[in-house]
Amino acid sequence: MVKSLAPDSGNKYEIGIAEIDAQHRELFAILARLEEHSGERYTYDAARNALSKLTEYANVHFAIEESLMRMHGYPDLLAHIDEHQRLRKQLADFQQRLLDADIATQLHKFIESWLANHIDITDRKYVPHLLASKIDPTAK
Ligand SMILES: [Fe+2]
Ligand SMILES: [Fe+2]
């Protein structure tokens, strides 16, 4: 059994851009739903549902982030997109393996650590560039 996510898990990864932070919090909230259906409480339908919501929302978030970086000429855009692409591929791979009951736990651990690392390291890198481009960090 994986450890429970705190309800404010998304908060400690705030990067200071309100719209993006709200999306990151939502990703962690969807992830927490997947955790609820892992281990002994595993059911295929619930895991499939949580994974498809996570995939859908991650795609929306990545598209918004990528267009924001593109619009403001972020120099590391391509490397950042590569990281997003790797997660898109991993999520698709997990979808193929959902019949295995252990997968929800593995998926949860993998995504939690991927999100934490990506937000904390890669997402944080674009913040100075976007702020210097005069985006409004409080806009929602
Ligand atoms: Fe992000
Ligand atoms: Fe990102």
Q: How far is CA 88 from CA 11, 41, 57, 132, in A?
A: 23, 26, 11, 29
Q: Region 117-134: what's the mean pLDDT?
A: 95
Is 137 a member of any domain?
no
Question: Residue 4's pLDDT is what?
Answer: 46
Q: Region 7-17: what's the mean pLDDT?
A: 76
Ligand nearest to the CA of 25: 1
pLDDT higher than threshold 80 for residue 60: yes
Is 7 a member of any domain?
no
Domain CATH for 90: 1.20.120.50
Instruction: Kindly give the distance from the C-alpha atom of residue 61 to the centroid of ligand 1, in angstroms, as a whole number.
Output: 7
Instruction: Kindly give the distance from the C-alpha atom of residue 91 to the centroid of ligand 2, in angstroms, as a whole number.
Output: 15
Q: Region 46-63: what's the mean pLDDT?
A: 92
Instruction: Kindly give the distance from the C-alpha atom of residue 66 to the centroid of ligand 2, in angstroms, as a whole number.
Output: 8
Q: Over pLDDT 90: what percentage of the chain?
A: 57
Cα 31 to Cα 65: distance, rounded to the nearest angstrom: 19
Is 139 a member of any domain?
no
Token pair 């709200």 in the structure block, residue = 22
Ligand nearest to the CA of 80: 2
* Paired tokens of 7: 């309800």
Question: Residue 107's pLDDT is what?
Answer: 82
Is 57 a member of any domain?
yes
Instruction: Kindly give the distance from the C-alpha atom of residue 120 to the centroid of ligand 2, in angstroms, as a whole number.
Output: 10
Is 9 a member of any domain?
no
Cα 26 to Cα 50: distance, rounded to the nearest angstrom: 12
Instruction: Kindly give the distance from the C-alpha atom of residue 78 to the centroid of ligand 2, in angstroms, as a whole number.
Output: 11
Q: Domain range for residue 50?
A: 16-132
The total domain count for the chain is 1
Instruction: Kindly give the distance from the C-alpha atom of residue 44 to the centroid of ligand 2, in angstroms, as a whole number.
Output: 29
Question: Residue 61's pLDDT is what?
Answer: 98
Is 11 a member of any domain?
no
Pick the most confident of 27-31, 66-70, 98-102: 66-70
